[in-house]
Amino acid sequence: MPKKRRYKFNPETLAYELHKIPMRVKFSKGFIMFLASLLTSTGCYMLYTKYFGFETPKMMILLSKSEELSNRLDLMNKRFQEANNSLISLQMRDNNIYRPVFGMEEIPQEVRNAGFGGVDRYSYLKNFDNSGLLERTAENLDILYKKAFVQSKSFDEVIEQAKNADKLALSVPAIPPVNISSHRIRFSSGFGYRPDPFTGQYRMHTGVDLSGQVGEPIYSTGNGKVVEIGYDFFGYGNFIIIDHGFGYKTRYAHLKASL
Supply the CATH number for residue 220's domain: 2.70.70.10
Domain that holds residue 181: 176-255
Split at pLDDT 50, 70, 90, the class of 25 is: low
CB 210 within 8 A of CB 176: yes
Its pTM stands at: 0.49
Within a domain: residue 242?
yes
* Domain end residue (candidates: 163, 188, 208): 163
**Dihedral sign for Cα atoms in the order 201, 207, 212, 214:** negative
Split at pLDDT 50, 70, 90, the class of 91 is: very high
Domain identity same for 221 and 199? yes
* Domain end residue (candidates: 163, 184, 208): 163
Domain identity same for 94 and 153? yes
Asked whether residue 51 carries a pLDDT value surpassing 60, the answer given is no
Domain identity same for 74 and 35? no
Domain identity same for 180 and 95? no
Asked whether residue 2 carries a pLDDT value surpassing 80, the answer given is no
The long-range contacts involving 80-83, CB below 8 angstroms and separated by at least 24 positions, are 80/137, 80/140, 80/141, 80/144, 81/140, 83/144
Within a domain: residue 222?
yes
Mean pLDDT of the chain: 78
| DSSP letter string, 80-133 | HHHHHHHHHHHHHHIIIIIHHHTTPPPPPHHHHTTTSSSS-TTGGGTTSTTHHH
Asked whether residue 77 carries a pLDDT value surpassing 80, the answer given is yes
* Rounded-to-integer distance, Cα 144 and Cα 109, Å: 14
Domain identity same for 151 and 71? yes
Within a domain: residue 59?
no
Indicate the number of domains in the chain: 3
Domain identity same for 83 and 152? yes
Asked whether residue 22 carries a pLDDT value surpassing 70, the answer given is no
